Structure 1
């Protein structure tokens, strides 16, 4: 089935905004509703002048539009999920038997026509064709009917998206104009440091109010009396050395990890679609013309019989290359939220997290938060800002266990290219019992593979984790005052 309506993912809009903020360049128009509206705003001469001439306005515009884009994409995703049953019905209709077509084509055409007549679905041709002797058995026309059905469905989705944008755009434009006027004025009048502004504003999801701004700003200002926060933030990510070059690991497909080539690696029999591990009987089926269809079906449904290896867990291949250093490495932040972190340690931790988030936003770096006590709360901080703000409203409590946090960390490091070259940061008082020897050994292996483990220890206590980290910074409690 053909898709007649254009759809873009979130990354497309982010790239368009990045290019516009950096250069002022953008297309004139587009057929996709959300992108077309975004272009209309970016082509406004007053907006362009403000964005290109003032760094604060550029950031305000960027975050305000990102919040609007995400809101519309979430609504589109919701509508798409609601319509999934109808899309599944289209696929099932394609598989109808000749007998079922004969009995059901009239009711089906009536159903589609009632819903999509205004979107160009013309049932008259199909009624006349299927009404002739054997017409319903014409596969080509039957498939064309389903294609037209999906085309009308996509047009309806397109129209609904236009209505959603029209419903929200007036409020957005008022907020954007207000933000571009009021925020720079407030920053100037209150002599807000630019770095403090960017960190504080980054937590507000494009929604401005002075009460929340000043509340978050107090947390940011903790950095003035806790310089270790700045040191840790600067360390995170693969940074260039003095000559501007470093060795970084680059993903090159996948490899099997064999302990020794002379040992048998076969552990048993499993099912899947790994063509490199097929049992001989499956290889024979693949070469048999009469069984080829069965082989393809089993491949697509991952039901081929395969050898299971001790080393079957695929690891991203890594090789060392000397390349120009990229100070934009991803970050995995593990934040202790147990009861011993309540109070001042929690404020210090939040201040560091806010600074890391601002760096991730400004440098377009991936940043993943794993808040942990015994259970964990994983948050992609750039994509899930609402969840992050909700997290900041909670108070540290509970016991401490690093097991689930380590499991989540290892999954991210081994899960593919996105976080394979990440630096890992623990923010904790480090009153954490050691995990199993297997996990401690896995930390060592990750470090050997190039992953850096850093820590910010808040408070003074014995730390048994030091040998497993590249460096642990230490921050004592800041002077007593209200934050």
Structure 2
């Protein structure tokens, strides 16, 4: 029993609204209906469509609200799983069990769903007469269907109550942020890119103290330009004309090319007709299943092959090629005592920039903070933890063993990280682990997983042979190997 709309549906609605201002008038699903009521507010629409900062504020706050309510709905569904299973089992009751159990069953369902429109009196009159109609399979199935409909209406009512409980607080914060934040940025001459990066860490909870603290970290990027260079290596951006393209040059600039189509990585969902699974092709060719195929195409739910389509190769001439969105990012951040001071600040500044890229490109981004122990954080889903992390101070010794094992586990077992870029931010004062672990780095690189590094300081680095590329930030000069 799935929700009417999933998270991807709401994201598409928000994307379209922020880009064009277009949205439906109303809907009967509580969360979508509430979202539409906000989007159809003329004042909000004007602000979102005329101010890039307001658009970002609206998008992030509504995305967070949607995610929160969908998680609550998911929890309620899981909590009622036994009741859903009970409906299925009731359909399989024997005639003898129906005879002995129909009265107790109707009483149980009626006690819970009488106000949701479940007509228990009708079924009591049918099952209790001399004809013993509880043996009528069609009537019995109809009773279970009515039970299921009442169950769904009850879930929707719970969802509406959850929204009503939260919406006043959301609207107050939204209106205050749309008014106060642009005014603050103008008054303090804050650049948009600085705002977007700092705001990305604040989970929609604006306060000037946290903002200015994070902004100081962001401004390190002007002093150390290697931060932006590495961030762009991990995630390409559009050119000035708005087209997503890569400029390709000699030697130190790289270009993306597609690997061959027989390089199958796994199975995913989407609407790429060139990568359809054979079963989906059958649906396309069958007249009776054609409408199902069209629906799955429109909703991007066709089963397709996934290919390793991004391979970095040295560019030998200057040209322009379409850029392909890259995969997710795994960031391994050294938090040992040797990172205290400027290295720590540079590292945090790069991390904030990577988070902004991950948000903008909808790319998963996973942080593994390490010294001897590790602290893993899904940076797009755990903003509160990430903000707390920025308040800690580096300390302790360094050991890459646990960090490497955690990285390999992500690459191996988490399908969303199959095509990841891995970035180390460290002074590389790290003893080499066992050859078994370093050999695995080389194995993943052969499988087109890219390992990049930012070395903070000028210590001797034994790790360089295991990386695609290592940048080095000396103070104040930066260079790369």
| TM-score normalised according to structure 2 size | 0.79
Mapped to 2, the partners of 1:358 and 1:104 lie a distance apart of 59
Q: 2:254 matched to 1:242?
A: no
Q: 1:108 to 1:151 in 2, by over 3 A?
A: same
Partner of 2:460: 462
* Cα displacement string for residues 270-323 of structure 1 (whole angstroms, at most 9, x for unaligned residues): xxxxxxxxxxxxxxxxxxxxxxxxxxxxxxxxxxxxxxxxxxxxx976478998
The answer (yes or no) to whether the contact 1:455–1:473 under 8 Å persists in 2 is yes
Match of 1:205 among 197, 203, 206: 203
Partner of 1:404: 402
Partner of 1:277: none
Q: 1:375 to 1:141 in 2, by over 3 A?
A: farther
Whose relative contact order is higher, 1 or 2, with alpha carbons under 8 Å and at least 6 apart?
Answer: 1
Partner of 2:393: 395
Q: 1:233 to 1:27 in 2, by over 3 A?
A: same
Partner of 2:58: 61
Partner of 1:38: 35
Partner of 1:147: 145
Mapped to 1, the partners of 2:308 and 2:438 lie a distance apart of 21
Partner of 1:195: 193
Mapped to 2, the partners of 1:169 and 1:150 lie a distance apart of 28
Partner of 1:267: none
Mapped to 2, the partners of 1:11 and 1:371 lie a distance apart of 30
Query: What aligned pairs does 1:366-377 form with structure 2 within 5 A after superposition?
Result: 366-377=364-375
Shift of residue 450, structure 1, vs aligned partner: 2.0
Shift of residue 209, structure 1, vs aligned partner: 1.1
Partner of 2:330: 332
Secondary structure (helix, strand or coil) at the match of 1:346 reads: helix
Partner of 1:25: 22
The answer (yes or no) to whether the contact 1:328–1:364 under 8 Å persists in 2 is no
Partner of 1:252: 264
* Cα displacement string for residues 62-116 of structure 1 (whole angstroms, at most 9, x for unaligned residues): 1121222222223323333332332233334344444433322211110100110
Partner of 2:381: 383
Partner of 1:85: 82
The answer (yes or no) to whether the contact 1:106–1:127 under 8 Å persists in 2 is yes
Mapped to 1, the partners of 2:352 and 2:468 lie a distance apart of 23
Aligned residues: 417
Partner of 2:49: 52
Q: 2:120 matched to 1:123?
A: yes
Mapped to 2, the partners of 1:100 and 1:201 lie a distance apart of 60
The answer (yes or no) to whether the contact 1:237–1:422 under 8 Å persists in 2 is no
The answer (yes or no) to whether the contact 2:332–2:370 under 8 Å persists in 1 is yes
Q: 2:373 matched to 1:361?
A: no
* Cα displacement string for residues 323-381 of structure 1 (whole angstroms, at most 9, x for unaligned residues): 84225442221122334334443222111111111111123222222223344333322
Unaligned runs of 5+ in 2: 238-245, 268-304, 313-320
Q: 1:317 to 1:408 in 2, by over 3 A?
A: farther
Shift of residue 412, structure 1, vs aligned partner: 3.3
Mapped to 2, the partners of 1:142 and 1:342 lie a distance apart of 70
Shift of residue 219, structure 1, vs aligned partner: 1.5
The answer (yes or no) to whether the contact 1:238–1:423 under 8 Å persists in 2 is no
Partner of 2:161: 163
Q: 1:218 to 1:108 in 2, by over 3 A?
A: same
Secondary structure (helix, strand or coil) at the match of 2:454 reads: strand
Secondary structure (helix, strand or coil) at the match of 2:109 reads: helix
Mapped to 2, the partners of 1:436 and 1:254 lie a distance apart of 31
Q: 2:187 matched to 1:178?
A: no
* Cα displacement string for residues 93-150 of structure 1 (whole angstroms, at most 9, x for unaligned residues): 3444444333222111101001101111111232233334553344443333222212
Shift of residue 416, structure 1, vs aligned partner: 6.8
Q: 1:101 to 1:327 in 2, by over 3 A?
A: closer
Partner of 1:226: 224
Match of 2:69 among 72, 83, 89: 72
Task: After superposing the two structures, state which structure 1 stretch, 27-36 or 5-14, moved more.
Answer: 5-14
Mapped to 2, the partners of 1:123 and 1:447 lie a distance apart of 64
Unaligned runs of 5+ in 1: 256-314
Secondary structure (helix, strand or coil) at the match of 1:352 reads: helix
Aligned-residue CA RMSD (Å):
2.9
The answer (yes or no) to whether the contact 1:340–1:397 under 8 Å persists in 2 is yes
Partner of 1:292: none
Mapped to 1, the partners of 2:142 and 2:215 lie a distance apart of 60
Shift of residue 414, structure 1, vs aligned partner: 4.0
Task: After superposing the two structures, state which structure 1 stretch, 460-469 or 136-145, moved more.
Answer: 136-145
| TM-score normalised according to structure 1 size | 0.78
Mapped to 1, the partners of 2:342 and 2:94 lie a distance apart of 69
Query: What aligned pairs does 1:288-327 form with structure 2 within 5 A after superposition?
Result: 318=308, 324-327=322-325
Q: 1:217 to 1:399 in 2, by over 3 A?
A: same
